[in-house]
Structure 1
Amino acid sequence: MLQTFTKESLFHEYYAQWIKVYKEGAIRPVTLNKYLVTLEWLKKLSPNLKLGDITRITYQQLINDYAETHERQTTMDFHHQIKCAILDAVDEGLIARDPTRKAIIKGKTPRAKKPKYLNQFELHTMLNHLKLTPQISWDWFILLVAKTGMRFSEALALTPKDFDFPHQTLSINKTWDYKHGTGFLPTKNRSSVRKIQMDWQTVIQFSGLVKGLPEDKPIFVKESQKVYNATINDILERHCKAAGVPVISVHGLRHTHASLLLFAGVSIASVARRLGHASMTTTQKTYLHIIQELENKDIDIVMRSLSELS
């Protein structure tokens, strides 16, 4: 039964019910968990804050308190996750006016960023250190992610029937719930359902590897096996160190794949489709630094071409 709220009600209690009503069943469990984490922070930072006491000043103080232990982008996410609930409370007359207007988003100094991707030479060097045995292994997993740009959970969910060897394609239509062990899950969004073209070498390698395996069972995950992202990251780290290249994560292989395609001149639209991004905007935001670098390169080409006109 839903609780009735007044201006004297605690904000974190209102937010808890707001999550239950508006978010449960409407968003993916991993996204829902982020809202629940935000709820715990509200309880910690402002356990006695009442709806009627939320003003621009009290809201800004809440954001400032959170920002003391979080980087600016994380603080921005925190702000966005509670803002919608606050605006609903404003509409219901529980808060006088929008306290989030003109909020200043702060944050502690970001940590030194680790390398997110490898260049072509570094990737080639690292892949040469993989031990590609006749049986499926995590080294094969690393190779396939590097060559396709799949998400970690998408690669875990691959079954033999997802491979279309005659047409050299790989169907991405599900993910694997490695965090809670519930098996197959839908993809991140509808755009994530896609077919990825594979090179002939990968086709030959995997056609032999998956031969005789159950058609609808994951090829990388054994029955009732618990898989940890950190485990594969550790394996990849060892290979990176052995190859003398920057240490990246498995997700970094996805960034590497996209970066190499962009530098090779593949269009943003094609890269977005291959990665399963919901829109090209996502691709542009994620790889802005590379796109800017390519634009500078294009300007040099344009200027050189124009200078030859005389």
Structure 2
Amino acid sequence: MASIYKRGRTWTANVFLIAGDTKKRKTKSGFTTKSEANKWAIGIENQKINNVLTTKDGIIADMFNDWYQVFKEPQLETKSKTWYMTTHRVISDYWPNKKISEVDSKLFQELINDYGSKHVKSSVAHIKNMISAFVRYAVDEDYINKDFTRNIKTFSSVENKSKELKFLEEAELEKLISRVKNSDATTSHMILIAIYSGARYSEVAGLTIQDFNFENNTISINKSWQAEDREFKATKTKSSNRTVDMPKDIMKLANGWTPGERFAFEITTTGLPPTNNAANKQLRRYLEMDSSKLITFHGLRHTHASFLLSKDIAIQYVSERLGHADVNITLSVYAHLLDKKRNIETSKALTELNKL
């Protein structure tokens, strides 16, 4: 007996099968019309009647890897590939010799629970989502009859890292600027540009000398450097392509630096920009010298935005300067700062109103 129903904009068909003493359900979704779903269900029913309905069984870790190599790996960047390789390792560790037909919801929930006892929730979600995507493919390809990843709950007993936004206060920022201005290190030059532009590490590392307009005192951010793949990529979003106005004195200083042949900030021995790790180490050394708050290179971007907002620069302009796709992104990221300023403005407003 088959059941056909609509889910969202597509149709889903269920066919119930008897395997020994067990009743199983074979499901397929994504049909654009009800007739397509019905046609598929009739075909499955006919296979069941003729006893030719089979599954393509195999070791789940091997099947996951084959799926990844064909459908995922060619389109992914290095960071995403790492997550798939991690997921494959998890499957291999937990189910080394399990066939895909032997894995059920209970086993999968046990995997999630155990993995979640040692990892933060975001990591657990990555593993769950990637296995779920593979299992949906396996169902569609008739490898198995049922999606055992449905209704599985993500679990973690490990706290996520604090999401508190870290940025330098104005006094700390002034000390850092003083130190990097007097340094000839390439990483120091990158730190200075990040402070005054609010650009991400990948955007600063991807700058070429052609991106510096010393006549108009601007920097053009039109690409990013992906260190893992060692190639230029598009910026994070379309709106990240932007021209940033820079202080005249900083551009005059930058005009005296020696750029590389390919990159504005280049290590002579490698012909590549300093790594994010190298820039972070240099930044940490400077901050420790002055007992300042320790932040990452990305924290310079937050520092840039926080400084401008504290000086009552319009948030729309700050958003454009950061290359955010929408001012609401800026509002959400820096909500705590804006709330603090709002409280100050409320106090000032009430003081004036009380004078009436």
> With structure 2 as the length reference, what TM-score do the two structures score?
0.71
Closer, same or farther in 2 for the Cα pair 1:194/1:53, shift >3 Å?
A: farther
Larger radius of gyration: 2
**Selected match of 1:11 from 60, 67, 71:** 60
Shift in Å, 1:239: 0.7
Shift in Å, 1:131: 5.0
Whichever residue aligns with residue 139 of structure 1, its letter is: S
**Selected match of 1:208 from 247, 253, 256:** 256
Shift in Å, 1:163: 0.7
Closer, same or farther in 2 for the Cα pair 1:304/1:65, shift >3 Å?
A: farther
Alignment pair present for 1:222 and 2:270 = no
Closer, same or farther in 2 for the Cα pair 1:29/1:158, shift >3 Å?
A: same
Superimposed CA distance per residue, residues 138-191 of structure 1 (whole angstroms, 9 cap, x where no aligned partner) = 2222111111122222212222110112322211122334345x3544433433
Asked whether the equivalents of residues 149 and 253 of structure 1 are also in contact (C-alpha less than 8 Å), the reply is: yes
Partners of 1:264 and 1:296 in 2: how far apart?
A: 15
Closer, same or farther in 2 for the Cα pair 1:72/1:299, shift >3 Å?
A: farther
Alignment pair present for 1:126 and 2:176 = yes
Whichever residue aligns with residue 191 of structure 1, its letter is: S
Matches within 5 A, 1:203-282: 203-209=251-257, 213=259, 217-223=262-268, 224-225=270-271, 227-266=274-313, 269-280=316-327, 282=329
- Secondary structure of the 1:38 match is helix
Shift in Å, 1:7: 5.9
> With structure 1 as the length reference, what TM-score do the two structures score?
0.80
Query: Aligned residue for 1:150?
Result: 199
Query: Aligned residue for 2:126?
Result: 77
Whichever residue aligns with residue 291 of structure 2, its letter is: G
Partners of 1:85 and 1:302 in 2: how far apart?
A: 57
Instruction: Give the structure, 1 or 2, with the largest relative contact order (CA under 8 Å, sep 6 or more).
Output: 1
Closer, same or farther in 2 for the Cα pair 1:157/1:111, shift >3 Å?
A: closer
Structure 2 residues not aligned, in runs of 5+: 1-53
Query: Aligned residue for 2:28?
Result: none
Partners of 2:333 and 2:145 in 1: how far apart?
A: 36
**Selected match of 1:100 from 141, 146, 150:** 150
Asked whether the equivalents of residues 69 and 108 of structure 1 are also in contact (C-alpha less than 8 Å), the reply is: yes
Shift in Å, 1:127: 1.9
**Selected match of 1:56 from 63, 82, 105:** 105
Asked whether the equivalents of residues 171 and 194 of structure 1 are also in contact (C-alpha less than 8 Å), the reply is: yes
**Selected match of 1:191 from 220, 239, 255:** 239
> Paired residues, what number?
300
Matches within 5 A, 1:166-177: 166-177=215-226
- Secondary structure of the 1:130 match is helix
Shift in Å, 1:14: 3.0
Structure 1 residues not aligned, in runs of 5+: none
Name the % identity.
27
Partners of 1:148 and 1:270 in 2: how far apart?
A: 13
Query: Aligned residue for 1:165?
Result: 214
Shift in Å, 1:279: 4.7
**Selected match of 2:116 from 58, 61, 67:** 67
